[in-house]
Amino acid sequence: MEGYQEKPVWFVLLSVVLSAGVGMVVGSGVGALLGSMIYQGDHNFFQAIQNSSGENLSTPLLVMQGVVSLFSFLLFPFLTLRIFRNGQSNYFIKKPFFLFSIPMVLGLVLMFTIADSVVIEWNQNIKFPEFLKAFEDWARLKEDELAALTKMFTDFHSPVEFITAIIVVGVLAGICEEFLFRGIIQNEFYRGTKNIHVAIWASAFLFSAIHVQFFGFVPRMLLGALFGYLYYWSGNIAVPMFAHFTNNSFSVVMIYLRQLGVIDIDIDSPDAAPWPAAIFSALLGAALLYYFKLFFDKKRTQPDGQ
């Protein structure tokens, strides 16, 4: 990675983060413009969003979200990275993608979702001391605002809206967020610290912080750490991208099936799974993760990837 390593880690990270911020501003403007153009409701588009009212908001909001993801997490960071990377083709992909990863990731994400529900319930019910009440009130308000926004763009009225959500929430978020947080930030922290665990957990911390949801901070950080270890062990950014896609798409599918009346499970509920199910899922998930690591440790000793 000559040429790329000439730039200090702090300089690369700062440049990428600043470019992501610029991308978010530009993407928000472009996304809002496109969203307003395709909005077909009876009210003013921006007033409908502000008041959380009006129909036909799902697709315009999803388009906005998709454009913001593309600009802030992928396009602008990628253009910035090109300045420093000098065409290093193996920066994100050091090993081939093995089909073994697909069933393993599916099982891991499912087990993690069930086990993590215990952490979600705990995090949702955190109480702050009195001197931090102002922060708690602010954090609860942000949580409510984001929950209302999420409800608007997951209020599906047609299969087209559902498919659009899979593309934006599953595909685009999985690709764009993993490109930035695992592909760039985790790699840079590793380059700077020479400690993969520090790199994984630091990038997972930032991954959770960017969502500005304190009462979901810990479970999302654990999810980011899972993605980080999958990336490090597999050596291929496509693996955490697929895991991220699986996690997000599973939630979208569950929401849609509940709206159709097919199931009665509320995936957005903060209630934990029954303890026997959570413990079993945690143990099975740990076993799958260990086997995943063993598989790729063996592959790492085989330069041809066979």
Number of other residues whose CB lies within 10 A of the CB of residue 176: 23
Q: How confident is the model at residue 4 (pLDDT cuts 50, 70, 90)?
A: very low
The answer to whether residue 170 is domain-embedded is yes
Domain residues for the domain of 87 are 9-300
pLDDT tens for each residue of 287-297 = 999 999 999 99
Phi, psi of 122 (to 5 degrees): -60, -45
Note the pLDDT of residue 6. Answer: 65
10 Å CB burial of residue 267 (0-12, 13-18, 19+) is middle
Q: How confident is the model at residue 87 (pLDDT cuts 50, 70, 90)?
A: low
Task: Determine what percent of the chain is predicted with pLDDT higher than 90.
Answer: 60
The answer to whether residue 2 is domain-embedded is no
Structure tokens at 36: 């307003």
The answer to whether residue 306 is domain-embedded is no
Q: pTM here? A: 0.91
Report, in this order, helix, strand and coil percent for the chain, each rounded to 5: 75, 0, 25
Note the pLDDT of residue 1. Answer: 40
Q: Which residues pair with 236 in a beta bridge?
A: 93
The answer on pLDDT for 181 being more than 60 is yes
Distance CA 81, CA 13 (A): 10
What's the whole-number mean pLDDT along residues 103-119? 95
Distance CA 53, CA 250 (A): 26
Closest CA to 132 of 55, 214, 193: 214
Report the Cα 214 to chain-centroid distance in Å.
15
What's the whole-number mean pLDDT along residues 126-133? 86
Closest CA to 230 of 112, 123, 118, 114: 112
10 Å CB burial of residue 255 (0-12, 13-18, 19+) is buried
Number of alpha carbons in the 13 Å side-chain half-sphere of residue 297: 7
The answer to whether residue 287 is domain-embedded is yes
Report the Cα 127 to chain-centroid distance in Å.
26
pLDDT tens for each residue of 15-44 = 999 999 999 999 999 999 998 888 877 677
The residues, ordered by sequence, that sit 6+ positions from 189 with a Cβ below 8 Å of its Cβ are 9, 13, 198, 199, 202, 203
Number of helical H runs and strand E runs in the chain: 13, 0
The answer to whether residue 83 is domain-embedded is yes
Closest CA to 128 of 140, 119, 120, 116: 140
Distance CA 155, CA 259 (A): 8
The answer on pLDDT for 89 being more than 70 is no
- Coil, helix or strand at residue 236: strand
pLDDT tens for each residue of 133-166 = 898 888 888 888 788 778 877 888 889 999 999 9
AA identity, residue 162:
F
The answer to whether residue 192 is domain-embedded is yes
The answer to whether residue 4 is domain-embedded is no
> How many structural domains compose the chain?
1
The answer to whether residue 46 is domain-embedded is yes
